Structures are given as C-alpha cells and as structure tokens.
Amino acid sequence: MLILRTLSRGAPMHGFEIADHIQTLSRDVLRVEEGSLYPALQRMLLKGWISGEWGKTNENRRARYYQLTKAGQRQLNAELEQYTRVSDAIARILSPAH
C-alpha cells in the first residue's frame, strides 16, 4: 500500500527513489530491508497495479521507472479505505470514552 501511495504522487520513480521516499516521509520510523521492495514491485507489476519502463537517471544510468496504473489507483483507494476502517475501529476500542 505504501508503495502504491508513493507512486500516486504522480511522477514515475525508480526503486531507489521509492525506498528513499518512504524512508524520508516516515521520518525514518519505517525501515524495511530495502531489497524486499523489489519482489513487491514485481508482484504489483504482474497484478497490473503498476507499470514499469526502462529509462535513464540524471547520471545517464539505466533504471526502471514505475508508475501507477488506473487499476493500481483503484487498488490503492480500496486499500486506503480498508486501512481507515480498521484504524478507526482500533481507535474506537482504544479510546477512553464509553
């Protein structure tokens, strides 16, 4: 979900950019083994949620740039909704009222 959200920001990114982005935004709280990003990306590629294209970085190195597809957008919305629902439920349970 996090990958999809990152990509939904618009510009195509390559693997390192995605990982860096998540790390930065989460203020270094979420630090996963960076390599596990790639199997996840492959999975999403196969499911058609993202599309990948080879391009060149600023330093002229070959990199695969990923972009969100329409199906991916739909999936992201669904997952966000799910997450919101769950976290709301948890919040309600944990709240001191009632």
Partner 1 sequence: MDLKALLRHWTRRDQLEAELEEEFQLHVDLRARQLESAGSTPSEARAEARRQFGNRTSLKEESRMLWTTRWIEESAQDFRYALRTLQRSPSFTVAAVLTLALGLGLQTALFTVFNGTVLRPFAVRDPFSLFQVSWQTQRESKFSFTLPEFQSLRQQTQVFSDAAAIEPRFNANVDGQGMLGSAVSDNYFELLGGATILGRPLERGDHDALVLSHQAWRERFASDPRILGRKILVNGHPFEVIGVTTPEFVDPISFKFALFDLQVGFWMNVDSLPLIWDKHPPSVSVLVRVKPELTREQAQSALLAYAAHITSERVVTATLESRATRLDLRPQSIWRFIPLVLVFGLVLVIACANVANMMLARGIARQREVGIRISLGASRARVLRQLLTEGLVISLFAGALGMLFAEVALWGTTNALSSFWAQNAPKYFGSPKIVPFVLDYRAFIFVLIIATLVTLAFAWIPAWQSTRQAASHSIRGEAAGLRPGRLRDLLLAAQIAVCLLLLVCSATLLRSTSRLEGFDPGFNPAGIFRVQASREALPELIRILQRQPWIEPLALSARAPLDGFRALPMNITGKSSEPIAFNLVSPSYFPLLRIPLTKGRAFNESEALAKQPVAIVSESAAQHWWPSQDPIGQIVHLNLTNRPSWIAAPEFSDARVIGVVKDVAHRVSAGRAVVYFPIDPQGKQGGTLLVRGKVDPQTTARLGKQAIGDVFWKFATPGSMPLDPFAPVAAELDMQLAPFHAASAISTVLGILALLLTASGIFGVVSYIVSQRTREIGIRMALGASAFNVAKLVLKQSLKRALFGALAGIPLAYAASALFAAVVPVVNGFDPLAYAAAIGVVLSAAILAAFGPAQRAAHTRPGDTLRAD
Q: Enumerate binding residues for partner 1 (CB under 8 A).
A: 14-16, 19-20, 33-36, 38-39, 42-43, 46, 57, 61-64
Nearer to partner 1, 15 or 68 (CB): 15
Which of these, 67, 70, 64, 78, lies nearest to 1 by C-alpha position?
78
- Give least dist CB 59 to partner 1, A: 9
DSSP 49: S
Least separation, in Å, of the C-beta of 19 and partner 1?
A: 7
* E strands in the chain: 13-14, 50-56, 62-68
**CB 43, min distance to partner 1, A:** 6
Helix (H, G, I), strand (E, B) or coil at 53: strand
Tell me how far, at minimum, the Cβ of 26 lies from partner 1, in Å: 15
Closer residue to partner 1 (CB): 57 or 77: 57
Count the neighbouring beta carbons within 10 Å of the beta carbon of residue 19: 20
Are the CB atoms for 64 and 52 separated by under 8 Å?
yes
